[in-house]
Amino acid sequence: MEHPEDLSIVRLPAGEEPGFDWTAGPFASLTRTPDETSIVCLTANVPPGARTEGPFRLVEVAGPLAFGAVGVFAEVLEPLVHADISVLGFSTFDTDWVLVPTEQARDAAAAWRRAGLVITPTSLTGGTT
């Protein structure tokens, strides 16, 4: 399912706490490593001057998936490799998520359809959910 909101990834220095609302929207993630803090959030919530990449469109693999399922993410990503589309991938307890550059979202959807995968908007009626 493709979500209509634009998301961005923000890089903060290691250990820095975000001083902005990063939790709103259909997906948000905060990841810490010894070298950085990365946040995925709505593009509209990124503070001016922040180091970012994006915007991205969020595609949610219909779930929940069995935790031990093998090859699901590979099946989703392989068509994008052949279409030369770089993505950010995430897995949560219930499902997988793919962030596709917004300007390549239509190309990604076409690549998935050619591979026999189904992609739909989050709302089949055209409204918001």
Per-residue pLDDT of the chain (129 residues; tens, 9 = 90+): 888 999 999 999 999 999 999 999 999 999 999 999 999 999 999 999 999 999 999 988 766 556 676 667 788 889 999 999 999 999 888 888 999 999 999 999 999 999 888 877 765 444 444
At 110 the pLDDT is 94
Residue 116 CB neighbour total at 10 angstroms: 8
Residues 80, 111: contact at Cβ < 8 Å? yes
Helix axis angle for 105-114 and 72-82, nearest 10°, is: 110
At 124 the pLDDT is 45
Cα separation, 9 vs 125, whole angstroms: 29
At 125 the pLDDT is 46
Residues 38, 10: contact at Cβ < 8 Å? yes
The domains found in the chain, sorted by start residue, are 2-114 (3.30.2130.10)
